[in-house]
Structure 1
Amino acid sequence: MCCSNPAFYISVYVLAVNLFGLYLRFVYFHNYFECFACRELDFKDQAYDYIVVGSGSAGSIVARRLAENPSVKVLLIEAGASGNGILQIPTVSLMLQDSVFDWQYRTVPQKHACLGLDKKVSHWPMGKILGGTAMLNNMIYVRGHPQDFAEWYKDSCNFNYTIDVLPYFKKLESNETNKHKCSVFVEDMPFKSNLSDYFLQAGLCLGFGLSDGVNSEPGFSATKVTMRNGQRWTPYHQLEKTKKRNLVVITNSLVEKVLLKSNYEAYGVKYTHLDETYYVRATKGVILSAGVIGSPKILMLSGIGPKKHLEKLKIAPRLDLPVGENLQDHVTTGLDLITLEAPPDMGLQQMLSPWSASRYFLWGEGPWTSPGCESVGFFNSEDEKIPELQFMILPYGAAIDGGSYLRGLVGIGERLWEGYFRRVNGSTMTVLPVVLHPKSRGTVRLKSKDPRTPPLIDPNYLAEGYDVDILLEGIELVKEFLETPPMRRLGAKLNAVKFPGCEGLEFDTRPYWVCYVRHFTLSSYHPVGTCALGRVIDEGFQVKGTNKLYVVDGSVLPSLPSGNPQGAIMMMAERAAEIIKHHCWLSQRRCCSSDVFQDQCSCY
């Protein structure tokens, strides 16, 4: 019977993916022609108080908070198109990757990592849509560890986590009293597979406790997700719900550069909209929230960046700053590393079931609400205060669809597919060991001064031996989990197929696993650091040496938090919005409430 044949479900899945790809193009071009129809709206002569570039999590929060003042006029510029409610279905996010709603970034070929991937490059999906990358991610919400933020503000004389960070987390998170004022809804997963409980039980067997799922504490938990009533819910959706008339949003508009006066004061931006060039002014500030790739790109195109690099591209340097440096990412490995005798209750059959579709559209529940990653765990060694390793547990692997779609998102070429993934017998699941605080650092550089040309992205994965060691510790810990009774009941075993490129090494030895992680290096899609606090921006989120020019997004994080960075980025955006509103430095904020020191603060 067809209903018990995996090939049948793969065929239906391939058809569904192709049809949905056509639907995405229809949505994209429908938005494009909507913009074309309203082309008579001339933005050239408009002036705003603030211009925010990028509608991702950070940009949406900043724009919404600034627009809370009815006397302030805010323009939010998004390079991508708008979506619709269908794109808020959580499981749709994978099909948005490599689509018209994705920037489709690729790294340069890696020297020390990604050796088994197609062309030795890593795929970096990033949202080109209202809502930004939060429309493509797994919706996982983690605050991080308090020590993360103390490290970021180590040069601040009076930093206090409970005063300077925790209130902003609480401000952005939903609760019973702030549903209309919060920036995002944080909820428990509406659905999880049977594998999630098995793995949590295995953790208890090994002595790991249960954590609250929000703070990066040692132990395991089901993931907390940014979701509302079964729908993906980003800060842009909250902005849209509470949008004021003094906030203008335009799409399909690529910002090419920041306009700077001779004293390095930002007074507007240059952008293209439907192939026409526009200049728009800002009287109080320009805030770049274009992401870890987009923000440094715009700064460098504006003449702010490494002087020698800009001169090489014949861009007149205005400020010599380490823009585009300090790039770092949560590196991982281990896709399809575990085989199962019994398939989980989360696969193509469940996803394609009409009952699953009915459950979603009628009640906002069921497999279609799955975030992908169902459980997370954090681990630290005895001499470390903060976690150094994270587990992300997924009830499936790249082989679930027979190589029809998912492998292309990761960069698994034909040789790797045929030599490894196709040879796996039975079902697989994935436990991704994530290096939380990698030592390797990379760069983002312009390829040319054409704003439409993708930049050169080099994360320099696994250049430092520490990163390899942590991944190997993670694999050893995975093996310990497989020996627990709950995992044995599942028939979970280590995938014994030798990885292509490592065939000459003895399986399950340190040399083999070193070869494995260098060949099969994966991004967790958590890059940060290219406009880092203390290096490119000051504690007021203002670009050093400039006036009225700010950066607020993941690029300002000087180092990675202990966990998925979405929560930390949104917290920083809440913090930045308040600082920009009052135009005060962090060290001056407390003085602004006193009349005695008003003349020393630039609050208004």
Structure 2
Amino acid sequence: MIWIFKFLIFLFYYVFVTVFLVYLYVNNAINFFELNVFSSSASAIKHSYDVIIVGGGTAGLTIAAGLKEKNVLIIEAGADFQSPNAPISSAIGRIIHNIPIATPLLQFQELFDWQYKTQPQQNACKSLTNNVSHWPMGKGIGGTQLINNMIYERGHEDDFRDWFDANTDNYNFTKDILPFYREFEEFLELSDLRSTTKVADAFVRSAPQLLDQNVIEFKLPKVIQNNGKRWSVVDSYHSWLHTSHQHMLSDAKAERILFDGDAGDIKASLKAVGIRYRKLGHLYEVRATKAVILAGGTIGTPTLLLKSGIGPENLYAQNTNKTAKKDTTKTADDPLKLKLQKHLPAVGQHLQDHVTTGLDLITLNQSLGLEPWNLYSARHLWDYFWNGNGPFTMGGCEGLGFVKTNLHESGAPDLGFMLIPMGSTIDAGVYFRRLLNINERTWKEYFQPLIATPTISILPIVLHPKSRGFISVRLTRDDDVDTVIEPRYLSHPYDIDVLVMGLKMIHKMINTPAFQTLGTSLTQRPLPGCSQYRFTSDEYWQCYAQHLTLTAYHPVGTCRMGTSQNDSVVDPSTFQVHGVDQLYICDASIMPSMPSANPQSTVGMLARKFLHSFYAHQSNSGDSSL
């Protein structure tokens, strides 16, 4: 009888997921037509603005809110379903969208997510279909804050030692970095977790029981929430009175940066004067008199630069006739039917990501109450909507750990842990399997037998990976331009060594008294492709990491800051693109290296630092204070 009940709950879950997504799509369609078709303000855009910001995410909106200029345009490719400007059903849509536990349902949905995919990986992702990793990244006003796990964690002070000054002796975290974190935090709603499981307590208590001097801290994270609801920079942006004079253009994709005249000599200095964008199938151009600020993220920003002719010269054909043949087998080294404007070889290079593994690695002998048949109850609904508490406030991660191993020379931690109090099999393959792109063999032989078993994941994270990838572009058959994402996961042995160390520490962790009260053990079934190695041996863990390779969704570095035009894109003192006047970048793409934490907080810190730099370097303003 109990299995019939559970089957009915799973059926309800499947129907709920479908209805949830259909409603959000219908809601957005209504708002789209109101804002873009029926509204007379949809086309009320000026020909020229003081400042144009490309990207309405964390960086873009934080910068916009801090600008003194009122004549500002924000161009965002995604929808405006979170904004008060969206009438009719938007309020109900926001209520549903902002339920934290619904976070996975928002990822890899075309409405909210760019649905990026990597190239097939040679050294990693062997348990994923075609060795391809899915990279969710938010699309819409609010950016990735619309679909992320809401974790807020500052980076370690040693992370930024050489970001802004090559002379590290001059570095002072308290003066150079911390004030800008605090300014950004005034722009946020930060909260403690309002609901945790027994595993979270065991995770924190296990740290001293490991008796490992390399352990820095195990803790519960802060989250960006307001009364248990998802919160994003959109909410604060609209509360700033002066932003009402700014123009926010949603559902408009930037296609090219406009420059002042023909570059001619590719060594000549350029000046960015506007943006060409596409909206409702039509191309438009808009001008900027003071600045064009790119805040499109680690993938969007280099893609726009490359499409605009700023990048490595071997990517472009000076004669468009050379690329008359349309061939989808082109690689990142093939020429484009675009004109080179500025040779900057580092555009798209130095791609880094927090890589992880360990999905469903740990089993329990008791339930945490997060199964669909336990979760969907009147009590939990009441707790969430009335009190802002309960499991519906959970965004996915309820524990963070930081470890300094002997593999890393910096004082910053190099091994991290994320505690996920549920397994990917909790929905019996309805949704999570597709989101993670787990291949057929791995699902059937490894994950499917775990459906009836309570599982959790403690994910080891390489905080400072040495593998480097790239972002590039290539022509399609219809002469459009596709983005190529090649992270080259685990191409450096250091990254594998850190993951193996993390997996071995997890094995030790679950045998501490804190975890043993929950009956924890490793999933004993060997991962397909690794059964030839002795279970829990270093060779097994190396194979395991190379098969079940996962992204922590934190790519950075594709337009890195630095002083040399040969290996960087942005001047760290001004945030200006090398050799291009009035063109600035401020988002995760400019980070020269990975922070030792979720990068969203650092993106906000950079946005506030940019504002100070921007006004300090404006010739018409001697006041750098905001």
- The separation in 1 between residues aligned to 2:551 and 2:64, in whole angstroms, is 29
- The separation in 1 between residues aligned to 2:56 and 2:417, in whole angstroms, is 30
Shift, 1:87, TM fit: 1.3
Task: Quote the residue 1:223 is aligned against.
Answer: 221
| Contact 1:43-1:280 at 8 Å conserved across structures | no
Shift, 1:273, TM fit: 1.1
- The separation in 2 between residues aligned to 1:101 and 1:39, in whole angstroms, is 25
| Contact 2:158-2:410 at 8 Å conserved across structures | no
Letter of the 2:117 partner, please give it: R
Task: Quote the residue 1:200 is aligned against.
Answer: 204
TM-score (norm 1): 0.91
- The separation in 2 between residues aligned to 1:309 and 1:38, in whole angstroms, is 41
2:106 aligned to 84, 87, 96, which one? 96
1:315 aligned to 335, 338, 354, which one? 338
Letter of the 2:461 partner, please give it: V
Task: Quote the residue 1:515 is aligned against.
Answer: 543
- 2:467 matches 1:440: yes
Q: How does 1:490-569 map to 2 (within 5 A)?
A: 490-534=518-562, 535-539=568-572, 540-569=574-603
Shift, 1:509, TM fit: 1.4
- 2:393 matches 1:389: no
Deviation sequence 1:226-283 (CA, Å, 0-9, x none): 1111111111221022253321111100000111114511111000111121111111
| Contact 2:199-2:515 at 8 Å conserved across structures | no
Shift, 1:45, TM fit: 4.4
- The separation in 2 between residues aligned to 1:119 and 1:304, in whole angstroms, is 32
- 2:511 matches 1:480: no
- 2:166 matches 1:138: no
1:349 aligned to 348, 356, 373, which one? 373
Letter of the 1:373 partner, please give it: C
- 2:364 matches 1:366: no
- The separation in 1 between residues aligned to 2:479 and 2:369, in whole angstroms, is 46
Task: Quote the residue 2:116 is aligned against.
Answer: 105
- 2:187 matches 1:183: yes
Query: CA 1:482–1:5 in structure 2 vs 1: closer, same or farther (change >3 Å)?
Result: farther
- The separation in 2 between residues aligned to 1:504 and 1:134, in whole angstroms, is 42
Shift, 1:154, TM fit: 4.2
| Contact 2:80-2:250 at 8 Å conserved across structures | yes
- 2:250 matches 1:251: yes
Query: CA 1:150–1:96 in structure 2 vs 1: closer, same or farther (change >3 Å)?
Result: same
Task: Quote the residue 1:177 is aligned against.
Answer: none
| Contact 2:352-2:594 at 8 Å conserved across structures | yes
Task: Quote the residue 2:74 is aligned against.
Answer: 76
Letter of the 1:147 partner, please give it: D
Letter of the 1:163 partner, please give it: K
Fraction of identical pairs, as percent: 39
Deviation sequence 1:81-106 (CA, Å, 0-9, x none): 12233212212221111212111000
- The separation in 1 between residues aligned to 2:166 and 2:599, in whole angstroms, is 22
- 2:241 matches 1:237: no
Query: CA 1:136–1:451 in structure 2 vs 1: closer, same or farther (change >3 Å)?
Result: farther
Shift, 1:603, TM fit: 10
- 2:62 matches 1:54: no
| Contact 1:105-1:454 at 8 Å conserved across structures | no
Deviation sequence 1:53-75 (CA, Å, 0-9, x none): 11111111011111xx2x53111
Letter of the 1:139 partner, please give it: M
Shift, 1:578, TM fit: 2.1
Unpaired stretches in structure 1, ≥5 consecutive residues: 174-181, 210-215, 594-601
| Secondary structure class of the residue paired with 1:241 | coil
Q: How does 1:13-52 map to 2 (within 5 A)?
A: 13-34=13-34, 35-38=36-39, 41-42=42-43, 45-52=46-53
Letter of the 1:110 partner, please give it: Q
Task: Compute the RMSD of aligned alpha carbons.
Answer: 2.2
Letter of the 2:602 partner, please give it: A
Task: Quote the residue 1:124 is aligned against.
Answer: 135
| Secondary structure class of the residue paired with 2:152 | coil
| Contact 1:208-1:219 at 8 Å conserved across structures | no
Letter of the 2:176 partner, please give it: D
Task: Quote the residue 1:269 is aligned against.
Answer: 275
- The separation in 2 between residues aligned to 1:40 and 1:584, in whole angstroms, is 32
| Secondary structure class of the residue paired with 1:76 | strand
| Contact 2:127-2:548 at 8 Å conserved across structures | yes
- The separation in 2 between residues aligned to 1:452 and 1:77, in whole angstroms, is 20
| Contact 2:358-2:458 at 8 Å conserved across structures | yes
- The separation in 2 between residues aligned to 1:195 and 1:6, in whole angstroms, is 24
- The separation in 1 between residues aligned to 2:578 and 2:18, in whole angstroms, is 47
Q: Which moved more, 1:495-504 or 1:545-554?
A: 495-504
Task: Quote the residue 1:336 is aligned against.
Answer: 360
- The separation in 1 between residues aligned to 2:598 and 2:63, in whole angstroms, is 20
Shift, 1:468, TM fit: 0.2
Query: CA 1:238–1:2 in structure 2 vs 1: closer, same or farther (change >3 Å)?
Result: farther
| Secondary structure class of the residue paired with 1:486 | helix
| Secondary structure class of the residue paired with 1:50 | strand
| Contact 1:584-1:603 at 8 Å conserved across structures | no
Task: Quote the residue 1:457 is aligned against.
Answer: 485
| Contact 2:112-2:146 at 8 Å conserved across structures | no
Deviation sequence 1:339-389 (CA, Å, 0-9, x none): 111011333234322221221111211111112100101000256511010
Q: How does 1:286-297 map to 2 (within 5 A)?
A: 286-297=292-303
Deviation sequence 1:5-62 (CA, Å, 0-9, x none): 4333322211111111111211221222121112664356431111111111111101
| Secondary structure class of the residue paired with 1:403 | coil
Task: Quote the residue 1:64 is aligned against.
Answer: 65
- The separation in 2 between residues aligned to 1:338 and 1:376, in whole angstroms, is 17
| Contact 2:294-2:584 at 8 Å conserved across structures | yes
Task: Quote the residue 1:179 is aligned against.
Answer: none
- The separation in 1 between residues aligned to 2:128 and 2:40, in whole angstroms, is 43
- 2:11 matches 1:11: yes
Query: CA 1:546–1:62 in structure 2 vs 1: closer, same or farther (change >3 Å)?
Result: same
- The separation in 2 between residues aligned to 1:184 and 1:530, in whole angstroms, is 27
Deviation sequence 1:178-220 (CA, Å, 0-9, x none): xxxx2212211111112100111122322479xxxxxx99111
Q: Report the number of matched residues.
A: 574
- The separation in 2 between residues aligned to 1:406 and 1:125, in whole angstroms, is 13
- The separation in 2 between residues aligned to 1:315 and 1:259, in whole angstroms, is 13
| Contact 1:43-1:278 at 8 Å conserved across structures | no
- The separation in 2 between residues aligned to 1:355 and 1:13, in whole angstroms, is 17
Deviation sequence 1:391-418 (CA, Å, 0-9, x none): 0001101011111111111111222110
| Secondary structure class of the residue paired with 2:560 | coil
- The separation in 1 between residues aligned to 2:71 and 2:598, in whole angstroms, is 33
Letter of the 2:434 partner, please give it: G
Query: CA 1:489–1:5 in structure 2 vs 1: closer, same or farther (change >3 Å)?
Result: farther
- The separation in 2 between residues aligned to 1:268 and 1:354, in whole angstroms, is 53
Query: CA 1:76–1:350 in structure 2 vs 1: closer, same or farther (change >3 Å)?
Result: farther
Query: CA 1:153–1:578 in structure 2 vs 1: closer, same or farther (change >3 Å)?
Result: closer
Letter of the 1:480 partner, please give it: K
